[in-house]
Amino acid sequence: MLTEQERHEIDEEVAAVRGHARAAVVEALKVVQRRRGWVSDDDLRDVAACLGMTPAEVDAVATFYNKIFRRRVGRHVLLICDSVSCWIVGYHALLEHLRARWGLELGATTADDRFTLLPVACLGLCEQAPAMLLDGELYGNLTPARLDAILATHE
Amino acid sequence: MPDLREYAGAGGYAGLRAALKMTPTEVQGMVKAANLRGRGGAGFPTGVKWGAVPLGPAARRPKYLVVNADEMEPGVMKDRLLMEGNPHQLIEGIIIAAHAIEAEHAFIFIRLAYREAAERLRRAIAEATAHGYLGENILGSGFSLDIRVHRSAGRYICGEETALLNALEGKRPIPRAKPPFPQTVGLWGQPTVVNNVETLCNVPHILRNGPEWFRGLSRSADGGTKLYGASGRVRRPGAWELPMGTPLREILEAHAGGMEEGYQLRGLLPGGASTDFLTPAHLDLPMDFASVMGAGSRLGTGTIVVLDDRTCPVSLLISLEQFFARESCGWCTPCREGLPWVVRLLRALEDGDGRQEDIARLEEHTRLLGPGRTFCALAPGAMEPLQSALHYFREDFTRHVTERGCPWRKELVV
Ligand SMILES: Cc1cc2nc3c(=O)[nH]c(=O)nc-3n(C[C@H](O)[C@H](O)[C@H](O)COP(=O)(O)O)c2cc1C
Ligand code: SF4
Ligand code: FES
């Protein structure tokens, strides 16, 4: 069930796109994800009802985007860039460090639900490679030590 | 980052004032005369693109201007720097371009990772609206425009202009068939222009200083300056605004500071992941559209990715092709099935399971996924670094077969 607040935020998005309700679908999915971390089948049906779309239509959009999560994720989502510039200057070392020091595996969530680690395409921060996106925040010039300092502040 | 007062104090919005005194056709004429070519990768002449939009009372309305700020091509960060550094410059370019095609609504389609840029743009839009540069009857000219920022949710194909239009409409963002082109049948079926961020950032300066001035900035036949970038093992990775046609050597040595200690230049991608490799033999090449094309590659986005002598070219291709395979929208079979196959062949070489005929098979894919074989330009773009690597780094591919694995492996898995 969507909350009153979520419904209200989705309605505002719909109003902003003037007469094209389904154009608000990506924002509506983000509204849900902001509060719950991911989009469940039930949430998906509720979003579809708000926008006058079928659940299948909403899912065709939701599954397409790689930052809408259709499966449960941890409290913090760490997207590590594995594209060229990062690949050249340190992606492998970071990945190895995340595995050895933090027990993170690509595509997996830690047992305590603290972190989900996923690979991501170039974050547009190539001049500060290697880079990551952690809970929507960009971080560049990563080293294992800097990574430790950042992750330590994410309980 | 300059606010509106600082931006206007430095001559900002003077181009808009000049443009509002002209007819749309006159504005288009200025941009054509300036030889501004699109900075989104393909280099299409901007004035000509605008010229295909129907004008006048008979034209269908509303019309739209859409700014492509998706920037998901690996190795490219120039538009982020432009939006974070000076959002008003882009806003002014948008208003002028919208006037030139008589559009009443504009959208900025920006990738999710660029939160800071999106926030700065929203603030700049609010400021510009409060000062009468946006909204109803702009500066008393009778022209009205609003701008909406649409934040995406991550998928490279959304940068392809017709997929982008589907994304904005809330559909699954796969590309559309062309023709019809967006200029006649675009967003919600209405006349639409899609332009890159950097393209539009040039426009205010053309209107303010004139086409001759703009052409004079360049060291080539293409007008203006270009935001060049460099990443990889160079001393000072970054981006610099330089005259269009600045030679590669100057960008890499004077601006990027040359190679990092202990690394040699082996090759480079001149304009992002979907451009053909060049080699140190090309260092004196001017970085403009025609020159890079003449050397067998493309200027693309002008952001250089440097391959050093301690990175395995085959391994680098795994990163590149894995990106394209993952980002393929899946609509057409050669791309959806072919790209993962390419990745498997490359992985096999890397792991020591490759055979000589696999190299020929990779070569075959560069033809089967080449221009004209797929529904959009993603797959042909993916083949550009592969075909040129097979040409310039052939020896490395062969060594992976004869030495049963990657000669660089030891260094990669430190
Ligand atoms: C797969 C693919 C991805 C693209 N991504 C972008 C992008 O992120 N930004 C961009 O400006 N153009 C991108 N383009 C090019 C656009 O389709 C379009 O040509 C461009 O936005 C036009 O702008 P311009 O004429 O100002 O250069 C992409 C093209 C393809 C085929
Ligand atoms: S070439 Fe690839 S990205 Fe383009 S339409 Fe075909 S499957 Fe989609
Ligand atoms: S390649 Fe990693 S941020 Fe661009």
Q: Are B388 and B296 in contact (CB under 8 A)?
A: yes
Distance from CA of B115 to the nearest CA of A (A): 8
Cβ neighbours of B77 in A, within 8 Å: 124-127
Verdict on whether the full-model pTM lies above 0.95: yes
Domain ranges (residues) in chain B: 4-216, 227-308, 313-413
Q: Are B56 and B109 in contact (CB under 8 A)?
A: no
Question: Residue B413 above 50 pLDDT?
Answer: no
What CATH number has the domain spanning B227-308? 3.10.20.600
Q: Are B72 and B273 in contact (CB under 8 A)?
A: no
Residue from A79, A126, A128, A137 to probe ligand 3 pocket by mutation (most atoms less than 8 Å from CB): A126
pLDDT tens, position by position, B213-246: 999 999 999 999 999 999 999 999 999 999 999 9
CATH of B4-216, one of 3.40.630.10, 3.40.50.11540, 3.40.50.720, 3.30.365.10: 3.40.50.11540
How far, in Å, is the centroid of ligand 1 from the Cα of B159?
5
Question: Residue B304 above 50 pLDDT?
Answer: yes
Question: Residue B409 above 80 pLDDT?
Answer: no
Residue from B28, B35, B68 to probe ligand 1 pocket by mutation (most atoms less than 8 Å from CB): B68
pLDDT tens, position by position, B247-264: 999 999 999 999 999 999
Cβ neighbours of B76 in A, within 8 Å: 122, 124, 126
Q: Tell me what the pLDDT averaged over chain B comes to.
A: 97
How far, in Å, is the centroid of ligand 3 from the Cα of B410?
24
The reply to whether domains B4-216 and B227-308 share a CATH topology is no
Q: Are B130 and B89 in contact (CB under 8 A)?
A: no
For residue A85 the two structure tokens come to 């510039």
With residue B229 as reference, give the H or E element that holds it: strand B225-232
Question: Residue B414 above 70 pLDDT?
Answer: no
pLDDT confidence bin for B411, thresholds 50/70/90 = low
User: Once rounded to an integer, what is the mean pLDDT over residues B58-62?
Assistant: 96
With residue A124 as reference, give the H or E element that holds it: none
pLDDT tens, position by position, B16-50: 999 999 999 999 999 999 999 999 999 999 999 99
How far, in Å, is the centroid of ligand 1 from the Cα of B141?
32
C-alpha closest to that of B268 among B285, B246, B245, B255: B285
Q: Tell me what the pLDDT averaged over chain A comes to.
A: 96
What CATH number has the domain spanning B313-413? 1.20.1440.230
For residue B359 the two structure tokens come to 């190299």
Pairing assessment for the beta strands B146-151 and B105-110 based on DSSP bridges: parallel
CA-CA distance, B52 to B50, in Å (whole number)?
5
Surface of B (59-98) touching A: CB under 8 A = 71-77, 79-80
CA-CA distance, A153 to B114, in Å (whole number)?
22
CA A111, distance to chain mean position in Å, is 19
Instruction: Name the residue facing A26 among B75, B170, B319 (closest C-beta).
Output: B170
pLDDT on residue B1: 81
pLDDT tens, position by position, B332-345: 999 999 999 999 99
Say if residue B209 is exposed, middle or buried (CB neighbours under 10 Å; 0-12, 13-18, 19+): middle
Residue B55 Cβ contacting ligand 1 at under 6 Å: no
pLDDT confidence bin for A19, thresholds 50/70/90 = confident
pLDDT tens, position by position, B125-147: 999 999 999 999 999 999 999 99
